[in-house]
Amino acid sequence: MAFANLIIDCWSLHPSKRPTAQSCERQVYWMDRSTPYSRSESSEILSARLLSSIAYMHIGHNRLGEAMDLLLRAMDIARSTKDEWATANAHERLGDIHRLRGEFSDAQESAVAARDIYARIGDQAGLANALYSLADVCRMRGDYSKAEESCVAARDIYARIGDQTGQANAVDVLGDIYCSRGELSKAEESFITARDIYAGIGYQAGLARAIYGLAEVYRLRGEYSKAEESCIAFRDIYARIGYTAGLAAAAYVLAEIYRSREEYMAAEEYYAAAREIYARIGDQAGLANIAHGMAEVHYKREEYSKAEEGFVAAQDIYAQIGDQSGLGNAVKSLGDVHYSRGEHSKAEESYLTARDIYVRIGDHGGTATAVAALGDLYQLREEYSKVEESYRALRDIYTQLEDENSLANATTKLAQLLTRQDNYAEAEQLYHGARSLYAKTGNKFSLADNLWLTGWLYANQKRYGEAESVVSESSTLFRELGLEERLLDCDDFLVAVKMEYSGPDS
């Protein structure tokens, strides 16, 4: 399709619309190409490198089973012939398959194996590719610090050896990492840098991917017009190069944008459009994502029976194709449905199952969401020992992930619980720790709220002077944020505290 569109452009009646020779060369360079090989019984003599090359093409078209078979054969041949480069390459491609299936622990193991071999044989390009793959897996596991470290290392190697495509790919994944961490300004900067490099070298698929990233940044910021504009832009690129799955992805992202805007009818239309394409090309992962997205729409509408049906459908597809990450997400969402219905035992069962899936595949971010949901459920059921256990587990996860804002939130929740249990000493220590993190991350609202809660902690202990001091600080921050209701709460608190420590006769 991409080649056909290029030829049509070359035949344009208007010379100004015909691509230049340089543009033609660039576009042909990036087109898929196949390597001829025999399908006869003698195919076993094919080199491991050729088998890996063919497997790479299968991966690009989501034929993961065929790719896995070829890579296992390639691995056997490479090991028997002591071809270390081919062994590393097979590990790298196997990692791609595991990553696409949501098998993150296996994916990371494969990427590390490839990285170590490439480093040992001195292949800088291979080392950069393995580091890039490792970064992407660590990002998906929620291990953002390791992801960033590997990605920066890959980017620097690509820059040193003059590989602009690799450099753009690494910067693009850095954008994904920053986006996942909520650092949207850094994410936008990275995606723009990647976009400009891709445009300069004429890599249309990469250009579309970078614009896709920008669409996600704008969606998360609530800049829906810019998100929609970016989505249409990368959709048009995919249409031009004949990447059908990209058209489905564009429809899916548009549906997500409209769902975020609570324009559910428009979201359903785009989900349906994406589903039709995914069904036509046989993309089961895409169909599962659509089922999950549609179920989220029903959940928001409080149509819990339809939501449950959709999440179960997504769960079944994810299980069938071996996408453990998707499976965990669907089971977690089913738990949310049960929670909203008041079916607390079923909700707990779903959350525990999701947590176990996330733990098994090494998805720390997913584990945190399941543990947080369990904590909220136990809070509702007044099972405070389990609430405490959940919040302490959350703190451990966020400490490992170096997610300071989420760590501060979990710490504050634990401090609130301990305050209700009259464990004032530890609660005070936790509030102080959370406050330091909020100040560091610049989260002014949460910092103000933390000071307000600390004021109540002091008031409960009749430490009225300290209570007045921290709530005065809280009041100042709420005033700067323009939150009048919270400001009035602080004023009422301060009046009450002054009456307490001044005495009734003052």
pLDDT greater than 80 at residue 389: yes
pLDDT in tens, 192-218: 999 999 999 999 999 999 999 999 999
Judgement on whether residues 16 and 81 belong to the same structural domain of the protein: no
Choose one of 132, 152, 172: the last residue of a domain.
Answer: 152
Residue 314 lies inside a defined structural domain of this protein? no
Judgement on whether residues 21 and 91 belong to the same structural domain of the protein: no
Judgement on whether residues 70 and 143 belong to the same structural domain of the protein: yes
Name which residue leads in pLDDT, 355 or 184.
355
Residue 98 lies inside a defined structural domain of this protein? yes
CATH number at residue 53: 1.25.40.10
pLDDT of the residue at 52: 85
Percentage of the chain with pLDDT > 90? 66
* Span 345-361, average pLDDT: 94
Cβ contact 279:58 at 8 Å: no
Q: How confident is the model at residue 28 (pLDDT cuts 50, 70, 90)?
A: low
pLDDT greater than 70 at residue 32: no
Choose one of 111, 132, 152: the last residue of a domain.
Answer: 152
Domain that holds residue 16: 1-29
Judgement on whether residues 65 and 96 belong to the same structural domain of the protein: yes
Judgement on whether residues 50 and 113 belong to the same structural domain of the protein: yes
Residue 256 lies inside a defined structural domain of this protein? no
Judgement on whether residues 135 and 87 belong to the same structural domain of the protein: yes
pLDDT in tens, 404-452: 889 999 999 999 999 999 999 999 999 999 999 999 989 999 999 999 9
Judgement on whether residues 3 and 60 belong to the same structural domain of the protein: no
pLDDT of the residue at 34: 47
State the average pLDDT for the chain.
Answer: 89
Distance from C-alpha of 92 to C-alpha of 126, rounded to nearest angstrom: 9
DSSP, residue by residue, 132-175: HHHHHHHHHTT-HHHHHHHHHHHHHHHHHHT-HHHHHHHHHHHH
pLDDT of the residue at 271: 97
Q: Is 17 exposed, middle or buried (0-12, 13-18, 19+ CB in 10 A)?
A: exposed
Q: How confident is the model at residue 471 (pLDDT cuts 50, 70, 90)?
A: very high
Residue 9 lies inside a defined structural domain of this protein? yes
* Span 92-105, average pLDDT: 86
Residue 143 lies inside a defined structural domain of this protein? yes
Instruction: Count CB neighbours of 396 within 10 A.
Output: 14
Choose one of 152, 177, 207: the last residue of a domain.
Answer: 152
Judgement on whether residues 91 and 13 belong to the same structural domain of the protein: no
* Span 107-121, average pLDDT: 95
Judgement on whether residues 50 and 17 belong to the same structural domain of the protein: no
Instruction: Please tell me what DSSP assigns to residue 382.
Output: T
pLDDT of the residue at 38: 45
Residue 6 lies inside a defined structural domain of this protein? yes
Judgement on whether residues 66 and 136 belong to the same structural domain of the protein: yes
Residues 6+ apart with CB under 8 A from 237: 204, 205, 207, 208, 211, 246
* Span 177-186, average pLDDT: 83
Domains in the chain, number: 2
Distance from C-alpha of 150 to C-alpha of 400, rounded to nearest angstrom: 17
Q: What are phi and psi of 90, to 5 degrees?
A: -65, -40
* Span 236-259, average pLDDT: 91
pLDDT greater than 60 at residue 480: yes
3-state secondary structure of 358: helix
pLDDT in tens, 281-334: 888 889 999 999 999 999 999 999 999 999 999 999 988 877 888 899 999 999
Distance from C-alpha of 331 to C-alpha of 351, rounded to nearest angstrom: 7
Judgement on whether residues 68 and 15 belong to the same structural domain of the protein: no
pLDDT of the residue at 323: 81
Residue 132 lies inside a defined structural domain of this protein? yes
Cβ contact 325:140 at 8 Å: yes
| Torsion (CA) 372, 378, 384, 389 in degrees, nearest 10 | -40
Judgement on whether residues 130 and 101 belong to the same structural domain of the protein: yes
Q: How confident is the model at residue 12 (pLDDT cuts 50, 70, 90)?
A: low
pLDDT of the residue at 4: 56
Cβ contact 259:296 at 8 Å: yes
pLDDT of the residue at 365: 84
pLDDT of the residue at 500: 78
pLDDT greater than 70 at residue 1: no
pLDDT in tens, 39-89: 443 343 357 888 888 888 888 777 888 899 999 988 899 888 888 999 999
The Cα diameter of the chain in Å comes to 102
pLDDT of the residue at 298: 97
Q: Which of 212-226, 319-333, 371-385, 397-411 has the highest mean pLDDT?
A: 371-385
pLDDT of the residue at 61: 74
Residue 298 lies inside a defined structural domain of this protein? no
Percentage of the chain with pLDDT > 70? 91
